[in-house]
Amino acid sequence: MHVHVDAHNGIPIYEQIARQVKYSVASGALQVGEHVPSVREMAGRLAVNPNTVARAYRDLQADGVLLPIRGTGLSITPQAVELCLEERLDLIRGRLRSALAEGRQAGMDADELRTLVEEELSQLAAAEVNP
């Protein structure tokens, strides 16, 4: 699994780690039952304090994504995939909703918003073929 953190983007490091673990689960890069990299290893990889990784993993346990196996490590729970996919969709929906609501409140009608969406979709498509 690939992880990357940026200490200067304002988002807490432990949150970046937790989010990326969830992404890896949602995308299948981490399979149910598999072990997540150990706290110490992940900390070394990211050049981050082990406590920071531990906090991310602790939050993931609270979310039901990770399960501790005593003395062995942390494994992906069976429900993890569902949880992570659901959370990701909620995130997308939430951002869309707030953007569109903002537009309505600013006086745009549905067609103007659709136009905005199409503009962004084209830009995305362009960026993907020519990154």
Partner DNA sequence: GTGGTCTAGACCACG
Partner DNA sequence: GTGGTCTAGACCACC
Site residues, DNA (CB under 7 A):
7, 12-15, 36, 38-41, 48-52, 54-55, 57-58, 61, 68, 70-74
Q: Shortest Cβ distance from residue 97 to DNA (Å)?
A: 23
Structure token digits, residue 28: 């299948």
Measured CA to CA, the distance from residue 36 to residue 117 in angstroms comes to 37
Pairing relation of β-strands 73-76 and 66-69?
antiparallel
Which residue lies nearer to a copy of itself by CB, 32 or 125?
125
Instruction: By CB under 8 A, tell whether 13 contacts a copy of itself.
Output: yes
Measured CA to CA, the distance from residue 34 to residue 72 in angstroms comes to 12
- In three-state secondary structure terms, 11 is coil
Give the bridge partners for 73, in sequence order.
69
- Residues near a copy of itself (CB under 8 A): 7-8, 12-13, 26-27, 62, 67, 69-70, 72, 88-89, 91-93, 95-104, 106-107, 110, 113-114, 116-117, 120-121, 123-125, 128
